[in-house]
Structure 1
Amino acid sequence: MLFRQLEYLVALSRERHFARAAQSCHVSQPALSEAIRKLEEELDVPLVRRGRKYEGLTPEGERIVVWAQRILADRDALKNEVGALRTGLSGRMRIGAVPTASGAVSLLTGPFCAAHPLVTVEVKADLQSEDILRQLQRFEIDAGVTYVHKDLPEGFQAVPLYEERYVLLTTAADGLARPATATWAEAARLPLCLLTEAMQGRRVLDEAFAEVGVRPSPRVETDSVAALFAHVRTGRWASVVPRTWLHVFGVPHGMRAVPLTEPARTVPVGLVTTTREPGSVMARALTDIARRTDIAAALERLPGEQLPERDS
């Protein structure tokens, strides 16, 4: 059995198409198909349901893919560990983030890249919380920045980063008075642009609205926080956005951002990794950065200021 055969099987499971899987592995489709066929012969089980086109993996194939992902992750972890012992950490760090928290990821990647100059970082910033846990389990990412609840599933651990708070974002000429805060009930009466209902960030908002007995009826929904800012800029909409995004955009000219109260809703956000040992050397290094960097304090200030380190 060769690592290459396992890579091909994992790629086929991910892409669900022989040609796309071959392209992602930089080989021809016949070469990929032949390697998987030889793996089936060696394991003496069918892995792929074959017809006129790809029809999915067999039950045995689904189980073998889990083992393949684990074996390949261990191989990569071993190579990274040995490399770190020789020349320092090198390779590629993969981080997944929910869209509402993606604006805070740079506060981790900045000090991480400074501490490990031979590492490149890939950030997937459009994942849902469930996607992050699933991709961690499949070793497709090394760490995730997402909402953290007390019922975090077994096999995962989290380092708290900050408490997500919310502001009402409107245009400066919306005709409202200029109070220091706004209530969720007041926000519900405005023409709103919000995140889509499929996103956990939206479900958090709906819970806050429901707590005061109202239900928002947004005319526009999106999966992008940046798109929320863009819609408010037109002057037609208001929105509820995480306060962390003011650290990225500030309060754009012509807009207002006021804290939402009654209730004063907060949601914990953390860095999530697996508890599997020895685990990813990349994840351990990023976890160390997260524990030493005061993300919450940094989000209260304008970008570009030096980040403090927590006391050991």
Structure 2
Amino acid sequence: MIQKLEMLIALAREQHFGRAAESIGVTQPSLSTGIKQLEAQLGVKLVLRGSRFGGLTPEGQRALVWARQIVGDARRLREEMRFSREGLSGHVRIAVIPTALTWASRLTSGFGAAHPNVNFTVLSRTSADILTMLENFDIDAGISYLDNEPLGHVSSAFLYRENYAVICRPDHPLAGRGPLGWGDLEGVALCLLTPDMQNRRIINRAFMEAGVVPVARLESNSTVVLATQVEQAGLVTVLPDHLAAFLVAGRELVMVPVEMATPGPAVGLIAPWQEPHTPVIEALLAEAGRVAEV
């Protein structure tokens, strides 16, 4: 039953029989058979079929809610039993907003040193993607904004508040300035994160409140691309100060702080709300609190 419920979750996520089968390592005929067997066991039609996947029926949508809960409970049970045998161990998948990747390194390096039998996969994703991946069990935890969009039913541990800095070349007119206001960037040729990034929406709001329309000559979802454009093309970017400090280190670049009228947005570790959490996630949330205090 658990495997068939995992098939339903994969199909709902991928919206395609072939991709769903590939994502969980089975053949497409096996997936189709598993879904039909699940429908027979539950006595209802779950999937609308034609020449291709046509979506879930109302009963399928309700079954999906139960499937996520049951599969999540089964995974927690396995984790609990492994903890009783081996202590903290296993593989943790974390998706992180691009601007928080340096904090992800702080969190995982400290945790990994204390618990060497725990391994990590760290992915860079948008805040919206992180919530979807948590819901579909594609990741175990995420690092994202805590107060800028609805998070749903999650557990969270605060890490830091974002403050911002301009990155530019030493010969740029902004390089010799003191703390900058958002208005000082009016008319400046910028490179910024893409609009699907929550950080970009936060910065756009700050520009709007200052009465400035940002001139984005280049957009990218990679902060490394932004730093390279500053260095090679003479553009200017705005990023959280901890990330800016990391990117300018060892480069012919400088960072200039941006004055904040109000505290910046909160960023933290989030995980699906569960009672109880698996031992690894419980320990990871505690580690996030420790890192934040440091």
Q: Is TM (by shorter chain) over 0.5?
A: yes
Q: Aligned match of 1:148 in 132, 146, 149?
A: 146
Q: Secondary structure at the match of 2:215?
A: coil
- Distance across 2 between alignment mates of 1:53 and 1:275: 34
Match of 1:112 in 2: 111
User: Structure 2: which amino acid aligns with 1:62?
Assistant: Q
Q: 8 Å contact 1:70–1:138 — kept in the other structure?
A: no
Q: Secondary structure at the match of 1:149?
A: coil
Deviates more, 1:271-280 or 1:208-217: 271-280
What number of residue pairs does the alignment pair up? 294
Deviations 1:128-176 (A, max 9, x none): 2x33333333433222211122886563332221111111111112244
Match of 1:178 in 2: 176
Q: 8 Å contact 1:188–1:214 — kept in the other structure?
A: yes
In structure 2, relative to structure 1, the CA distance for the partners of 1:7 and 1:259 (3 Å cut) is same
Structure 1: which 5+ residue stretches go unaligned?
298-312
Q: 8 Å contact 1:5–1:36 — kept in the other structure?
A: yes
In structure 2, relative to structure 1, the CA distance for the partners of 1:134 and 1:65 (3 Å cut) is same
Q: Aligned match of 1:201 in 199, 202, 224?
A: 199
User: Structure 2: which amino acid aligns with 1:38?
Assistant: Q
- Distance across 1 between alignment mates of 2:38 and 2:9: 12
2:214 matches 1:221: no
Residue 124 of structure 1 and its aligned partner are, at CA, apart by 2.2
Q: 8 Å contact 2:168–2:175 — kept in the other structure?
A: no
Deviates more, 1:159-168 or 1:141-150: 141-150
Deviations 1:255-303 (A, max 9, x none): 11100126476222112233321233332110111122246x5xxxxxx
- Distance across 1 between alignment mates of 2:218 and 2:152: 37
Q: 8 Å contact 2:46–2:59 — kept in the other structure?
A: yes
Match of 2:53 in 1: 54
Match of 2:24 in 1: 25
Residue 238 of structure 1 and its aligned partner are, at CA, apart by 0.7
Match of 2:275 in 1: 277
Structure 2: which 5+ residue stretches go unaligned?
none
Backbone CA RMSD of aligned residues: 2.2
User: Structure 2: which amino acid aligns with 1:291?
Assistant: G
Q: Secondary structure at the match of 1:219?
A: strand
Deviates more, 1:275-284 or 1:29-38: 275-284
Deviates more, 1:169-178 or 1:55-64: 169-178
- Distance across 2 between alignment mates of 1:142 and 1:204: 26
In structure 2, relative to structure 1, the CA distance for the partners of 1:21 and 1:136 (3 Å cut) is closer
- Distance across 2 between alignment mates of 1:177 and 1:293: 32
**Normalising by structure 2, what TM-score?**
0.91
- Distance across 1 between alignment mates of 2:61 and 2:260: 48
